């Protein structure tokens, strides 16, 4: 114990816990993790409500990063279900396969619209043969892959709902969310001539039997089994610094003052909170953090007096007439997660923290979501037994056209500490999933064990996370 390096990790979401798991498992580090709330797991957690175990929106486990799924299976020791993926997109009153297929679109679109789409594909196909220049915006990226017609029908309204004005979005926003090797490849898949690859869409995914939150809880247990400590309810933090290093942190935990020394700090908390703890005097840095754009997430759980409502785990809603951009039925992951005679549908949408939607009361938001579910023909008003609204402010990093310069400025500000590492989604301002957070934890540990310098690790981590892709 005495010769182990001391590490303090900030944040008990999947980002902080993954780092803690690998670091503690290596046997070379004494891990102390500090979480400010009274629960573990952050947005990957689950919670109990009205007889249900509920996740924070649709969470599936899947990864194309070599070795990561096997590592997760090891952690979960067989407590993972292999679930056949069922998800569709609701368009013009019809449920269509997702990813979209041209043949399905033909069934629901009028002849004029379908012709327009077909023409769009033809133009995209021909352009794709000659034009290899990179797209300069989200809109251009999608149009180069799918054609203008599909962009306007599906991607533009969906992006507007999820990210806000797509004309101000960086192409990385599309690249991360909609991976595809090339225009021609996409068209072959749309025509159904080529199958989706495991990098673009998975036929199945994994899911922790007891709810997604069992994954972070298991990581916590394993940190403790390896001699680490995980504290919840950690507040009033004060970071101690000395000559470009973080030397420790004071915190009040359950009303008791604690002091932790550290050789390294790993942060998965919002960059604004980390800035407040470490560089509150540095106006340039704080200004840079404030320039980063986010979308806040609203989850509306609607409880329904029926055993099940959907056939899919989740359904996307690109059309503006629906407030939500996706609905998710928890019991489709595992029917044991709720009572036999009732179900819960989670409607999710994003908005900015200064928007009318964010400021609206829970009743108003829930009423709009219930109205949408009724309009879509999924439920009747008399089916509803209650609702619950959960909000996560500033959770989706929004890659605007200048985001790369903005985040570079923030990272550079934090480089003045030569023992501080970043990880996670909000901790790194990286639009990623749980498997990516897990990969970051593994990567950081391998690099520290090798004895690499922090600046070098952060350089490599920054380029590693830029390549993460979300598989639908
Ligand atoms: C609707 C939705 C659907 C998703 N679907 C999937 C999916 O299907 N598959 C998938 O893999 N991923 C999915 N994700 C993404 C996944 O949730 C994130 O990648 C992951 O939760 C990020 O974890 P994190 O640890 O970076 O952040 P968080 O979960 O936000 O954890 C950060 C933690 O830090 C704590 N904290 C904050 N400030 C402080 C402080 N000052 N001191 C101490 N602690 C602090 C917070 O309380 C929190 O516990 C989805 C996300 C959403 C919203």
Q: Does ligand 1 lie within 6 Å of residue 43's CB atom? A: yes
The tokens of 289 are what?
Answer: 């953090």
Q: Does ligand 1 lie within 6 Å of residue 88's CB atom? A: no
Q: Does ligand 1 lie within 6 Å of residue 424's CB atom? A: yes
The tokens of 265 are what?
Answer: 């700090």
Question: What CA–CA distance (Å, rounded) separates 243 from 259?
Answer: 19
Q: Is residue 184 part of a domain?
A: yes
**308 by DSSP, 3-state: which?**
coil
Q: Assess contact for 237 and 229: CB atoms under 8 A.
A: no
Beta strands 229-231 and 294-304 are unpaired
Q: Which atom of ligand 1 is nearest to the CA of 18?
A: 25
Q: Which residue's alpha carbon is nearest to atom 27 within ligand 1?
A: 13
Ligand 1 centroid–CA 285 distance in Å is 24
**205 by DSSP, 3-state: which?**
strand
Together in a domain, 360 and 375: yes
Q: Assess contact for 420 and 265: CB atoms under 8 A.
A: yes
The tokens of 91 are what?
Answer: 């368009």
Together in a domain, 275 and 355: no
Question: What CA–CA distance (Å, rounded) separates 21 from 228?
Answer: 9
Together in a domain, 139 and 270: no
Together in a domain, 418 and 285: yes
Q: Does ligand 1 lie within 6 Å of residue 15's CB atom? A: yes
**Which of 397, 418, 438 is the last residue in one of the domains?**
397
Together in a domain, 35 and 108: no
Q: Tens place of pLDDT for every residue, the chain, 472 residues?
A: 668 999 999 999 999 999 999 999 999 999 999 999 999 999 999 999 999 999 999 999 999 999 999 999 999 999 999 999 999 999 889 998 887 776 777 777 777 777 777 777 777 777 776 777 788 888 888 888 777 877 887 788 888 999 998 889 999 888 887 655 555 555 556 655 556 666 556 789 999 999 999 999 999 999 999 999 999 999 999 999 998 999 999 999 999 999 999 999 999 999 999 999 998 889 999 999 999 999 999 999 999 999 999 999 999 999 999 999 999 999 999 999 999 999 999 999 999 999 999 999 999 999 999 999 999 999 999 999 999 999 999 999 999 999 999 999 999 999 999 999 999 999 999 999 999 999 999 999 999 999 999 999 999 999 999 989 888 7
- Structural domain that includes position 30: 5-45+213-292+401-466
- pLDDT the model gives residue 346: 98
Q: Is residue 472 part of a domain?
A: no
**Which of 397, 426, 441 is the last residue in one of the domains?**
397
Ligand 1 centroid–CA 196 distance in Å is 28
Ligand 1 centroid–CA 316 distance in Å is 21
Together in a domain, 146 and 277: no
Q: Is residue 393 part of a domain?
A: yes
Q: Is residue 183 part of a domain?
A: yes
Ligand 1 centroid–CA 349 distance in Å is 16
- pLDDT the model gives residue 54: 98
Place of tokens 């000395």: 242
Give me the number of domains the chain comprises.
3
Together in a domain, 448 and 303: no
Domain with 441 in it: what CATH number?
3.50.50.60
Q: Is residue 450 part of a domain?
A: yes
Ligand 1 centroid–CA 45 distance in Å is 8
Ligand 1 centroid–CA 191 distance in Å is 36
Together in a domain, 312 and 264: no
Q: Does ligand 1 lie within 6 Å of residue 387's CB atom? A: no
Q: Does ligand 1 lie within 6 Å of residue 297's CB atom? A: yes
Q: Which residue's alpha carbon is nearest to atom 35 within ligand 1?
A: 11
The tokens of 415 are what?
Answer: 């480089």
Together in a domain, 444 and 370: no
The tokens of 383 are what?
Answer: 């089916």
- pLDDT the model gives residue 118: 76
Q: Does ligand 1 lie within 6 Å of residue 295's CB atom? A: no
Pocket test for ligand 1, best of 8, 9, 11, 16 (most atoms within 8 A of CB): 11
Q: Which atom of ligand 1 is nearest to the CA of 274?
A: 41
Q: Is residue 228 part of a domain?
A: yes
Q: Is residue 87 part of a domain?
A: yes
- Cis before 99 (ω within 30): yes
**Which of 157, 190, 223 is the last residue in one of the domains?**
190
Q: Map 5-41 to HEC letters.
A: EEEEEECCEHHHHHHHHHHHHCCCEEEEEECCCCCCE
Domain with 185 in it: what CATH number?
1.10.3110
Ligand 1 centroid–CA 176 distance in Å is 17
Q: Is residue 415 part of a domain?
A: yes
Together in a domain, 409 and 447: yes
Question: How many C-beta neighbours within 10 Å does residue 58 have?
Answer: 21
Place of tokens 């790194």: 428
Q: In 3D, which of 28, 31, 24, 32 has the Cα closest to residue 3?
A: 28
Question: What CA–CA distance (Å, rounded) separates 389 from 299?
Answer: 6
- pLDDT the model gives residue 56: 98
Q: Does ligand 1 lie within 6 Å of residue 11's CB atom? A: yes
**419 by DSSP, 3-state: which?**
coil
Domain with 54 in it: what CATH number?
3.90.660.20
Together in a domain, 206 and 300: yes
- pLDDT the model gives residue 197: 62
Q: Which residue's alpha carbon is nearest to atom 30 within ligand 1?
A: 42
Beta strands 294-304 and 343-351 are antiparallel
Together in a domain, 108 and 164: yes
């Amino acid at each position: 114990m005495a010769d182990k390096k001391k590490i303090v990790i900030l944040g008990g979401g999947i980002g902080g816990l993954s780092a803690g798991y690998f670091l503690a498992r290596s046997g070379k580090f004494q891990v102390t993790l500090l979480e400010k709330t009274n629960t573990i797991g952050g947005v990957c957690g689950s919670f109990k409500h009205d007889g249900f175990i509920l996740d924070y929106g649709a969470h599936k486990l899947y990864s194309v990063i070599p070795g990561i799924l096997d590592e997760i299976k090891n952690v979960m020791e067989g407590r993972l279900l292999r679930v056949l993926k069922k998800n569709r997109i609701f368009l013009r009153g019809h449920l269509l396969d997702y990813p979209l297929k041209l043949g399905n679109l033909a069934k629901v679109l009028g002849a004029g619209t379908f012709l327009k789409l077909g023409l769009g594909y033809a133009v995209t196909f021909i352009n794709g043969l000659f034009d290899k220049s990179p797209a300069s915006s989200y809109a251009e990226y999608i149009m180069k892959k799918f054609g203008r017609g599909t962009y306007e029908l599906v991607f533009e309204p969906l992006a507007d709902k999820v990210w806000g004005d797509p004309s101000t979005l960086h192409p990385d926003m599309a690249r991360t969310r909609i991976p595809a090797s090339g225009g021609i490849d996409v068209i072959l898949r749309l025509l159904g001539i080529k199958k989706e690859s495991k990098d673009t869409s998975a036929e199945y995914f994994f899911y922790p039997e007891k709810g997604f939150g069992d994954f972070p809880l298991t990581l916590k247990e394993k940190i403790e089994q390896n001699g680490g400590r995980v504290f919840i309810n950690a507040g009033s933090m004060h970071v101690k610094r000395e000559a470009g290093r973080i030397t420790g942190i004071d915190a009040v935990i359950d009303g008791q003052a604690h002091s932790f020394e550290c050789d390294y700090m790993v942060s998965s908390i919002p960059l604004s909170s980390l800035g407040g703890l470490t560089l509150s005097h540095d106006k340039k840095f704080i200004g840079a953090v404030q320039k980063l754009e986010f979308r806040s997430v609203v989850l509306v759980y609607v409880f329904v007096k029926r055993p099940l409502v959907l056939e899919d785990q989740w359904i996307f809603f690109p059309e503006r007439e629906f407030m939500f951009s996706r609905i998710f039925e928890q019991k489709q992951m595992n029917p044991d997660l709720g009572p036999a005679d009732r179900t819960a549908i989670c409607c999710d949408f994003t908005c900015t923290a200064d928007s009318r939607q964010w400021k609206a009361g829970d009743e108003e938001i829930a009423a709009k979501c219930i109205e949408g579910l009724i309009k879509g023909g999924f439920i009747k008003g008399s089916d509803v037994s209650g609702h619950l609204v959960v909000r996560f402010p500033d959770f989706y990093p929004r890659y605007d056209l200048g985001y790369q310069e903005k985040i570079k400025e923030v990272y550079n500000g934090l480089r003045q500490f030569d023992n501080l590492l970043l990880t996670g989604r909000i901790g790194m301002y990286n639009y990623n999933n749980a498997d990516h957070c897990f990969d970051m934890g593994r990567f950081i540990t391998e690099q520290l064990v090798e004895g690499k310098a922090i600046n070098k690790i952060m350089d490599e981590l920054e380029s590693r996370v830029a390549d993460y892709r979300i598989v639908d």
